[in-house]
A and B are shown apart, each in its own frame.
Chain A
Amino acid sequence: MKYVDEYRQEALARKLSDEIGKTVTRPWVLMEICGGQTHSIVKYGVDYLLPKAVELVHGPGCPVCVTSLEMIDKAHCIAVRPDVIFCSFGDMLRVPGSEVDLLIVKSRGADIRIVYSPLDCLKIAKANPGKKVVFFGIGFETTAPANAMAVWQAKKEGIRNFSLLVSHVLVPPVMTAILQSPLNRVQAFLGPGHVCAVMGYREYEPISRRYKIPIVITGFEPADLLDGILKTVSQLEAGHAEVENQYSRVITRDGNIPAQKLINRVFEVCDRKWRGVGSIPKSGYKLQYDFRDHDAERIFEVEEIDTQESPLCISGLVLKGVKKPHECPAFGKECTPEHPLGATMVSSEGACAAYHAYRRHGIGVTA
């Protein structure tokens, strides 16, 4: 698959779809991990091109959606302080905490700023020596190199008024958690393209071997997704289970070594709570001891916080692939992108927001 204009051509999509139809002899359940892939599948109706026997369920690969409610509430506690300039990616401002979101906190007078890159926070910190500048360091492995560099530079330059509220999450442990769940229906994964641009795909090989499950690292184009699905069902039908790279135009087995080196120098693996999923062992990053002077949780002594999720929201079941967004009683009623109850309705990569944007209300799939 090589040429630019091929990728969204209907003829190519149909050809791949026909090939999937010829390959499949029994029902299979596949999960796409990445929220960007979810968005693309729903927007372009990739699932409508599949035979009924192939079911796609949407995974927890939206970092905004899985940032724990406790961490959102901690961000609010820090952001309201008069001595703080709180910086974040824009996606996080509308994520509901127990009571409010960061936009409401900002409207009440807190100094909250949207930045493009964590390095912008270092400039803000230098320009405001009397303030404590805190960056909300959320994200998967794709974002970790940027946050690692910001902390590394802050230490190197002696910028003592910069700290990171770290809430990094990792893909392989959540895949393992899904596979170990008694509710699991997933028989194969489409792997996350841009996460693997950083990490490569070596770390998925033990998961594939241990659980005897195909994992196909896949891109984002409709034809990429169909090609990834074809490779996945071909493995399933043949009884194979290995890691395959559909996205070799961009992804290598080793990933970005300089980025991995700095991640491993600045962060260490820790247990992490995932919104809607719960605590998953060794599924996140925290700052290493050498960088404790830039750890916002330590500096601001944010204690354990009592949190309160909406009782109506089933985003946890959606994030684990157990339920589809339109199966939530609040979907499109009490919960909309304008008034989200859960994080999966906030981010464009959230399954609920994607279903709402493209009017998926439980319409039957047409093969």
Chain B
Amino acid sequence: MCLAIPGKVIETLESDGLKVAKVSFGGMVKQVCLEYTPDAVPGDYVLVHVGFALSRIDQEEAERTYKLLEELGQLTELDS
């Protein structure tokens, strides 16, 4: 509930006046708000919590964290 999940920015766009992105989490694509990481561009990895990117991270960190959260069963928020 207070863990952020890493994902890869696929495409940036605008929705209701907000900067958003399509972000891939291990193949599952969800819309994520980029207002707090406005510099993120396609190809970047971001830490996402409840639909908001909170920070940019490198690919190694993203892969490692994703794998850990998968093992811990902490990816359920993506199913909502």
Chain B residues with CB under 8 Å of A3's CB are: 60
Bound: A309/B37 CA distance, A:
41
Chain A residues with CB under 8 Å of B77's CB are: 89-90, 116
- B7 CB → nearest A CB, Å: 13
Which residues in chain B, 1-52, are within 8 Å of chain A measured between CB atoms?
A: 1-4, 16-18, 30, 33, 35-38, 47, 49-52
Known: A35-B2, A348-B74. A146 touches B50 (CB 8 A): yes
Known: A89-B80, A221-B68. A250 touches B47 (CB 8 A): yes
- B76 CB → nearest A CB, Å: 7
Decide if A140 is an interface residue (CB 8 Å cutoff). yes
Interface pair B49/A348, CB less than 8 Å apart: no
Known: A34-B2, A36-B74, A39-B74. A146 touches B47 (CB 8 A): no
Decide if A318 is an interface residue (CB 8 Å cutoff). no
Decide if A175 is an interface residue (CB 8 Å cutoff). no
Interface pair A116/B49, CB less than 8 Å apart: no
Interface pair B1/A89, CB less than 8 Å apart: yes
Known: A116-B78, A221-B64, A249-B57. A36 touches B2 (CB 8 A): yes
**A–B complex contacts, Cβ < 8 Å, 14 sampled:** A7-B68, A8-B68, A61-B2, A89-B80, A114-B80, A116-B50, A117-B50, A146-B49, A192-B2, A194-B49, A197-B47, A249-B57, A250-B61, A259-B36
Task: Mark B residues whose CB is within 8 Å of A.
Answer: 1-4, 16-18, 30, 33, 35-38, 47, 49-52, 54-55, 57-58, 60-61, 63-65, 68, 71-74, 76-80
Q: Knowing that A118-B50, A153-B18 touch, tell me 17 more A-B residue pairs with CB under 8 angstroms.
A: A3-B60, A35-B2, A36-B2, A36-B72, A43-B72, A90-B79, A116-B30, A117-B51, A118-B51, A143-B1, A143-B49, A145-B54, A194-B2, A197-B54, A256-B55, A258-B36, A349-B2
